[in-house]
Structure 1
């Protein structure tokens, strides 16, 4: 059987992604320090046309934040020892701690976010590693999402709740601490849930 060149026109060939099933299409994913599950931050969520997969980035995030934590802890210890010192400089230690904390937190978080996001782009490595959860399309009853507000709102966060059809499996919740990350995750949920067979997706106002 021969296939003409005209027949091939318009056909889109997709590079196979290692770790996916035959015929499975990768829709996209997000890895960020602004996502988390439980008490830890650093999480990745991947969507294919058949599955939703969650991967923890906790160890990588903790390793990146370790120098910042060490510096702050040392300064706090020095502050506690302040009352035993007569050196005038030590009277300013509480202010120094606050200043260093503020000065290091933002660049450290940005650097961590950049590295975690880059690590998350290595789809093959992420899918080969230990998965935190994996649901097929037919196992999911619904998505419920609440996006965090735009801008810097201290203490406010959103979430993505995935409820399985099986009553023996507990719903899981992914915390969202950034508006941009919430919007990207929202787009991925819409792309996944709108494909056949469709999955119910709700958004909390």
Structure 2
């Protein structure tokens, strides 16, 4: 029964026993030696975040000496316990994580890979917004924010979504804020208070 064998070199002794008849003697014992190997169990992995640090948690697997890991196809080796993978999941999106238990004992083969995923959401940069005024209008403009889908402008009673990088509104006494709006794996930026543009005087 293979379940009762320990991986490694094994010896089995076999002998035929006489049935209690004086005419028959027990046979000589014959020994057979063979090698038996086993596959390691897959680790029960998880991903946890503590503050700004993301950890890959690998519980110890019996007979494993290390763990072969991949994050988005990039390989590295880890020990059991918590491994910091923050620098490996900086891009926004879904990251695929695989871990196999391995052993330096040749009688234990690597486990099947355990798989999990982690989603990274990235906040957009706040727009850098400035405005200029005339007697009856205000014009606000801002720099393009990478990965922003639209921009939200709040000015008094006005709440406007736009894909433009400049907007002119009737002048009123109110703060003017611009926010980059994200989608998918990109989160909305903080609202940026527009500052009055400094016009350079001609020489």
Q: TM-score, normalised by structure 2?
A: 0.20
**Structure having greater relative contact order (Cα 8 Å, sep ≥ 6):** 1
State the structure with more CA Rg: 2
Looking at secondary structure, tell me which structure has more helix per residue. 1
